Structure 1
Amino acid sequence: MSASSASPAPPTLSQRVILVLALACGVSVSTIYFPQAISSLIAADLHVAEGSAALVVTAAQFGYAGGIFLLVPLGDRLPHRRLLVTLLALTAAGLVVAGAAPTLPVLVAASAATGVTTVVPQIIIPMAAGLVPADRRGAVTGTLLSGLIGGILLARTFSGTLGEWLGWRAPYLAAAALVLALALVLARVVPDTTPSSTHRYPELISAPLRLLREEPDLRRSCLYQATVFAGFSAAWTALTLLVTGPTYGMGAQTVGVLGLVGAASMFCTPLAGRAADRRGPDAVTLWCLLGVVGSAAVLLPGGMGGAAGLVVLAAGMLLLDVAMQSGQVANQARNFALRPDARARINTAYMTCAFLGGSAGSWLGVRAYDRLGWPGVSGLVALTAVIALTRHLTRARTTAAPAGDATVTPSRVP
C-alpha cells in the first residue's frame, strides 16, 4: 500500500501533553474539594450552622455525580477539545456565581451547578487511555490521577490559606480565573480526536446502565470505589469539624495543611498504575482495601486533641489518601480494558457510582460526627472498607475454586 493511500495515523500523546492534561485534571477537580477547608468560614460569614455549611460540599459532589452521568458519555460522541473547553468555561461562570452568593441556598445551588460541569478529568482520563498503547495505559492513568490528587490536596491548602486572609469568597473567584486560563491552554494542546460513537444522546446516557448489567467487573469496580470513597469523603468532611471545633480550636488553614500530607499519593498512583500493568488490578485492589482498613485504625485516636492527635490525624489521612487513590488506578485499569469503543460510557457508570458514594459519605460523616464523635467517623471508614473487602475476597475464593476442582460446571463461575 502506498503512503498516500494509507489511513492517517491516530493522534498520540507526548509526555508534555500528558503532563498538561494531568495539570488540567488537578485544576478542574479542585473546584469540588476546596470548600471542605472553608466550610467553617462560610458558616461564620453567612450566619448558619457548620453542619448546614457542609451542604456546600455535599451539593458539589452530588452535582459532580450528576455531571458524570449526564455529560461524560458525550466524550464518546463529541470531539474532545470542544467539549473540554466548553465545560471549563461553564465551570468558571459557576464559580463566579458561587463567589458572589449572598445566601447559603444560592451558594449551595451554585456549587451543585459547578459540580455538574467540572467533570473534565472524567473525560480526559478515558480519552488518554485510548491514545496510548495498552501496556502504558495503567502508568498514564496513574500520572493523570497524580495530577488530580495534587489538585485535591492543593485545593484544601489554597482555599484554607486564602480564605483566612481574604474571606471565603476569594478562593471561588481565584479558582474561576485559573479555570478560564486552563480552558485557553487546552484549546491549543488537546489533539483532534474522532468520536468513537454515533449514538444519539438518549442512547449514550442509557448505555452506562446497560454496561453495569452486562459487565460484572465494572460492577465490582463501582462497588469498591463507591464504598471506599464514601469513607474518604466522610473523613475529610468531619475532619474540618473536628479541627476547627473545641477539641483542637484551630482555623481553616490547619485543615489545608493537613491536606498536604496526602501529597505522597501523587507519587504512589504512578507506581500503582505500573503495578496494575504488571500484576493485574485485583492484586493492587487487595492491597488498597487493606490500607483503608488500616487507616481507620490509625485515625481512631485522632479525637484526643493536642499535638499527638494532629500527628495521628496526619498519618491516618495520608494512608487513607494513598489507599483510596491507588485503588482508583486499579479500578480504572480494570474498566478501560473492557470495551475500547465505550470507555467514556464505562467511566460514566463507574464515576457516577463513586461520587454517589462520596456524596452519601459526606452526609453520613457529619451525622456520625454529631452523634458519635470522631470514633464514629473512624468506624464509618472501617465499615465502608470492610464491605468492599468482603466482596473482593468472596470473588477471589469463587474464581479460584474451579482450578482445584475439575468437575465444577461453568454455571458456578461468576
Structure 2
Amino acid sequence: MTERTDRTQEAEEPQGAGGSAEIRLTRLTVLVFAVAAGSSAACLYYLQPLLHQVAGDLRVSTVTAALLVSAAQVGYLSGMALLVPLGDFLERRRMVPGLLALSVLALGLSAAAPNLPFLLLGVFATGITASAAQVVVPWSSALADPHKRGEIVGTVMSGLLLGILLSRVLSGAIAEFAGWRGVLLVAAGIQLVMSVSVYLLAPATGRAATEESYPEVLISVLALIRRHAVLRQRMALGFLAMACFSGMWTGLAFLLAGSGSSSYHYSEFVIGLFGLAGVAGALGAPIVGRLADQGRLRMVTTLVWLTVLAGWGLLAWGGGNVWVLVIALLVFDFGVQGIQLSNQSAIYALDPAARSRLTTAYMVTYFLGGVAGSVTAGSAYQAGGWGLICGIGVGVTLLALALWAMFARRPSNR
C-alpha cells in the first residue's frame, strides 16, 4: 500500500500541487468552483423550510415530511464516504460535471414525485450527487499555487457556505410563486449550467497513476486516519464546530417562528432572510485563508474559536433584540467558517496525493457533528428554549478550545 501511495503522489504532484507551469487557476475558474460547490451543497437544504408545504401537497404529516431532511443527509454521507475518495484517482474534470449532471436528474425526479416514497428516493439521490461539492474543494487546493492555497480554498469554501445559507432564501422566494416543485426545477437548471461550466472552464489534470482497486481506495481512508494525528485532531474540532453551526441554525428557526417564550413571530420567508447575515460572515473566509498562507494557522485556529465563543454570547443577548441577533449571526458564521478553513488548510498539507480521501475522513465526521447538533437543538429548545441552546453552545465551544490548547502544544501543530 505504501509503495502504491508513493507512486500516486509522484503522479499527482506535477499535475495538482500548484507548482506546475502548465496548470494555473484563473479567477474565473475559482469562481466556477465556488459556485459549483455552493449550488451542490444548496441542494441539501432547498426543501428544509418548505416541509409544511410538501406535507400538505403529498397529504402526509409534517413529522413524516421531516424524513426528507434525514434522507438528504444520509445520501450526502453516502456520497462522501463512497464517491469523494475517487477524486484522488479519477479525472476530476469528468467526475464533477458527471455528478452535477446526475444531480439534474435526481432533482427532476424529486420535482415529479407523485408521493412521499418517490420523493424520498429522489432526495436521497440528490444527497449523493451533492457530494460533488467535496470533490471540488480538494480539487481547488490541488491546483492552487502553494502561496495562495489557503486563500483559494477559502474562496471556494465561502461559495459552499453561501450556497447553504442562500438556499433557504431562494427556496422561500421561489416557493411563493411556483411551489416546492418549482424550487427543485430551478435548482436542476442551476446544476445543469454548472455541469457545463465546470467541464468547459476547469483544467484537465488526467488520472493519477495507481494500481489500487476501489476497495483499497476506501480502506486507504482508514489508513490515513490512523497515520495522521493532525487529521484526527481536526476531525474532532470539525465535529464540534458543525455541531455548533447546525444546532444554532436549528434552534434559530424555532426562536424566529415564535416557539416557546420567544417574542419573535416571523414568516418563513423572513426567517430565511436571516441567512443573509450569515452570508456576510462567510465572505470573510478568504481573509482567514490569507493568514493561513502566511504560516499563522495556529494563531488563526485560536482566534476563530474565540470568535465563535463571542458569537454565542451575542446570540444569547439577541434572543430578545433583533439587531443584536443579526450582528451575532455575522460574528458566529465568520468564526465557524474560519474554523472550517483552518481545519482544511491543516489536513490538505498532510498528503498532496490524498486530498480527496482526507476530505472524506474529515467531512464525514464534520457532517455527523451537524446531525448531532440538529438533533440536540430540537430537544434542547423544547426543554429550555433559546437560552439552553446558547448554554450548550458555549459548553461545546469551551470543550473545543480546551482540546485545541492540548493539540497546539504538539510539534505537528506548530
Give the distance between the partners of 1:159 and 1:125, measured in 2 at CA.
25
Residue from 149, 152, 157 that aligns with 1:140: 152
State the percentage of identical aligned residues.
Answer: 37
C-alpha contact 1:50 1:241 (8 A) present in aligned 2: no
Instruction: Indicate the residue corresponding to 1:73 in structure 2.
Output: 85
| Worse-superposed segment, 248-257 or 266-275 | 248-257
Residue from 229, 245, 248 that aligns with 1:235: 248
Letter in 1 for 2:215: P
1:177 aligns with 2:175: no
Letter in 2 for 1:15: R
Letter in 1 for 2:88: D
Q: 1:141 and 1:260, CA in 2 relative to 1: closer, same or farther beyond 3 A?
A: same
| Worse-superposed segment, 189-198 or 69-78 | 189-198
> After superposition, where does 1:207-222 map in structure 2 within 5 Å?
207-222=220-235
Q: 1:166 and 1:328, CA in 2 relative to 1: closer, same or farther beyond 3 A?
A: same
Residue by residue over 1:335-365, the C-alpha shift from the partner in whole angstroms, topping out at 9 and shown as x without a partner, is 1111111111111111111111112222222
Q: Kindly tell me the number of residue pairs found equivalent between the two proteins.
A: 392
Instruction: Indicate the residue corresponding to 1:332 in structure 2.
Output: 344
Letter in 1 for 2:266: M
Residue by residue over 1:52-95, the C-alpha shift from the partner in whole angstroms, topping out at 9 and shown as x without a partner, is 54443333233212211110111111101111111111111222
C-alpha contact 1:222 1:353 (8 A) present in aligned 2: yes
SS at match of 1:191: coil
Residue from 24, 44, 61 that aligns with 2:73: 61
C-alpha contact 1:25 1:124 (8 A) present in aligned 2: yes
Instruction: Indicate the residue corresponding to 2:239 in structure 1.
Output: 226
Instruction: Indicate the residue corresponding to 2:33 in structure 1.
Output: 21
Q: 1:109 and 1:231, CA in 2 relative to 1: closer, same or farther beyond 3 A?
A: farther
Q: 1:197 and 1:322, CA in 2 relative to 1: closer, same or farther beyond 3 A?
A: farther
Letter in 1 for 2:201: V
Instruction: Indicate the residue corresponding to 2:272 in structure 1.
Output: 256
List gaps (5 residues or longer) in structure 2. Answer: 1-14
C-alpha contact 1:161 1:252 (8 A) present in aligned 2: no
C-alpha contact 2:80 2:131 (8 A) present in aligned 1: yes
C-alpha contact 2:151 2:287 (8 A) present in aligned 1: yes
| Worse-superposed segment, 53-62 or 197-206 | 53-62
Instruction: Indicate the residue corresponding to 2:3 in structure 1.
Output: none
1:345 aligns with 2:361: no
1:293 aligns with 2:305: no
Instruction: Indicate the residue corresponding to 1:4 in structure 2.
Output: none
Give the distance between the partners of 2:101 and 2:168, measured in 1 at CA.
22
> What CA RMSD, in Å, does the superposition of the two structures yield over aligned residues?
2.4
Give the distance between the partners of 1:100 and 1:240, measured in 2 at CA.
28
SS at match of 1:11: coil
C-alpha contact 1:37 1:255 (8 A) present in aligned 2: no
Give the distance between the partners of 1:391 and 1:356, measured in 2 at CA.
19
Residue by residue over 1:202-250, the C-alpha shift from the partner in whole angstroms, topping out at 9 and shown as x without a partner, is 1111111111111011111111111111121122123223323454332
SS at match of 1:74: helix
1:269 aligns with 2:285: yes
1:195 aligns with 2:211: no
Q: 1:397 and 1:191, CA in 2 relative to 1: closer, same or farther beyond 3 A?
A: closer
Letter in 1 for 2:204: D
For residue 369 of structure 1, report the CA deviation from its aligned partner. 2.0
| Worse-superposed segment, 203-212 or 192-201 | 192-201
C-alpha contact 2:165 2:279 (8 A) present in aligned 1: yes
Give the distance between the partners of 1:208 and 1:93, measured in 2 at CA.
29
C-alpha contact 2:38 2:161 (8 A) present in aligned 1: yes
Give the distance between the partners of 2:39 and 2:282, measured in 1 at CA.
14
Give the distance between the partners of 1:86 and 1:174, measured in 2 at CA.
19
For residue 176 of structure 1, report the CA deviation from its aligned partner. 1.0
Q: TM-score, normalised on structure 1?
A: 0.87
Q: 1:395 and 1:162, CA in 2 relative to 1: closer, same or farther beyond 3 A?
A: same
List gaps (5 residues or longer) in structure 1. Answer: 1-6, 401-412
> After superposition, where does 1:370-389 map in structure 2 within 5 Å?
370-389=382-401
Q: TM-score, normalised on structure 2?
A: 0.87
